[in-house]
Amino acid sequence: MRILVLGGTWFVGRTLVEAITDAGHRVTLFNRGRTAARLPDEAEAVHGDRESVEDLRRLANLGPWDAVIDVAGVVPAAVRDAAKVLAPVTGRYVFVSTVSVYRDWPREAVAEESPLHQGDPDTRPPAWKWGTGVYGPLKAGAEIAVHRELGDERTTILRPGVILGPYEYSGRLTWWLTRAARGGRILAPGEPDRFIRPIDARDLAAFTLHLIVSGVSGAFNVAGPAGRDTFGAMLDACLAATGATGAAVWVDDDWLTANGVKQWTELPLWRTATGTWAIDTTRAEAEGLICRPIRATVRDTWAWMHSGDIPVEHERQATHGIAPDREAALLTAWDLAGHEPAGNA
């Protein structure tokens, strides 16, 4: 097959490009060429700005493709323009969306039929930033735009929860690995046996390619399996991968919250809202989604962090992790409140 990836050099896109070439398909990447990622030799790179309809038309002249994957589109009008220009030169259009499109996530459990944020397919906010609450509504608008330009039969939407793995630039697992490597007493949130369900970008990529090759339309939630991986297993895997001699000190959710620790960011992957990991993935699993265990993701991410590859710099990195002195002060306060000073890992 011949597949066009809009983006393709940071994280999910880069993983997709590798999956496509590994499977023997041909891939074209379209991006501005600002990121010096090591890419497979077979990948054909085309440079341009996706905000420019002129650049998109130039790209369309290089078609046709069996499928286009818009990996990182967020602004609905920009996603719309790409879908409109590329619709005549592609069989299928795949849009990488997010579980954040659900109106009630993370407060409630979500399935593909759950209500979405109200999205406007034609909006183009002049500037938007992470953490401002507009990401979900923008992605919802972008989904509508793709459906409108391509029609339901040629549209495939992926709605992942948290994505981890080599090339991650958000700073979630990479932060926990760095923290584990530092050793000592590690502030660990809640209970070690709390289930978490991140998806490895490589499993997301394999599933995406499978949907393209099989010609499957529709929307799919994508997350790790329910009831398998735990926060404790993730942290143990971080300590094992880094060879550090640290010990997790599991601190009560309510105590952390009362002490102002920010969920999801200061302690990445920690969130107590009921629906956080309650993502119905029955549809994707029935279609063939397979997810590797968290320890494999942790091990390979650590190996990548020491491979000499340069991670993409991104504003999101700065939003993740707790400062060492704040962590130490919280642990002391926890001890003084009458808890086990030696850690309970």
Ligand X SMILES: NC(=O)c1ccc[n+]([C@@H]2O[C@H](COP(=O)([O-])OP(=O)(O)OC[C@H]3O[C@@H](n4cnc5c(N)ncnc54)[C@H](OP(=O)(O)O)[C@@H]3O)[C@@H](O)[C@H]2O)c1
Our measurement of the distance from residue 276's CA atom to the centroid of its chain's CA atoms, rounded to an integer in Å, reads 14
The site string for ligand X over 19-58 (x = CB under 6 A, - otherwise) reads: ------------xxxxx-------------xxx-------
Q: Is 166 in the site for ligand X (CB under 6 A)?
A: no
Q: What is the DSSP string of 259-270?
A: TTPPEETTEET-
Taking contact as CB under 6 A, which single stretch among the options 20-28, 159-167, 177-185, 239-247 is the one that binds ligand X? Answer: 159-167
Work out how close the CB of 309 gets to ligand X at its nearest, in angstroms, rounded to a whole number: 13
Contact window for ligand X (CB under 6 A) among 6-14, 213-221, 244-252, 291-299: 6-14
Cβ-based neighbour number of residue 49 at 10 Å:
13
Binding-site size for ligand X (CB under 6 A) equals: 24
Q: By C-beta, is 34 or 306 nearer to ligand X? A: 34
Give the x/- contact pattern for ligand X in 123-152, rule: CB under 6 A: ------------------------------
**Which of 3, 4, 12, 223 forms a contact with ligand X (CB under 6 A)?**
12
Separation CA 22–CA 42 (nearest Å): 10
Q: Give least dist CB 95 to ligand X, A.
A: 8
Please report how close the Cβ of residue 14 comes to ligand X at its closest, in angstroms: 5
Give, in order, the Cα–Cα distances in Å from 15 to each of 165, 203, 252, 256: 9, 9, 36, 35
CA distance 66 to 212: 8
- CA-nearest of 73, 69, 47, 44 to 58 is 47
Least distance to ligand X, CB of residue 6, Å:
7
Q: Using the rule CB under 6 A, is 170 a contact of ligand X?
A: yes
Q: What DSSP assignment string belongs to 45-114?
A: EEE--TT-HHHHHHHHTT--EEEEEE-S--SHHHHHHHHHHHGGGEEEEEEE--GGGBTTTTTS-B-TTS
DSSP designation for 190: S
Q: Site for ligand X (CB under 6 A): which residue of 76, 136, 141, 160? A: 160
Residue 13 or residue 232: which is nearer to ligand X going by CB? 13
Q: Nearest residue to ligand X, using CB?
A: 13
Stretch that binds ligand X, among 12-20, 58-66, 86-94, 280-288 (CB under 6 A): 12-20
The correct pick among 13, 76, 106, 232 for binding ligand X (CB under 6 A) is 13
Binding of ligand X by 4 (CB under 6 A): no
163 counts as binding ligand X under rule CB under 6 A = yes
**Interface with ligand X (CB under 6 A), residue from 23, 45, 53, 72:** 72
For 223-289, strand residue ranges (E) read: 247-251, 263-264, 267-268
Q: For residue 219, list its beta bridge partners.
A: 157
Q: How far apart are CA 207 and CA 256, in angstroms?
A: 37
Burial of 197 (0-12, 13-18, 19+ CB in 10 A): buried
Name the residue type at position 193. D
Which residues, listed in sequence order, are joined to residue 249 by a DSSP beta bridge? Answer: 187
Which of 98, 208, 276, 281 is close enough to bind ligand X by CB under 6 A? 98
What is the distance between the alpha carbons of residues 207 and 99, in angstroms, rounded to a whole number? 16
Question: Which residue in 56, 68, 138, 162 binds ligand X (CB under 6 A)?
Answer: 162
CB of 162 to ligand X, least distance (A): 4
Residues that bind ligand X (CB under 6 A): 7-14, 31-35, 49-51, 71-72, 96, 98, 160, 162-163, 170
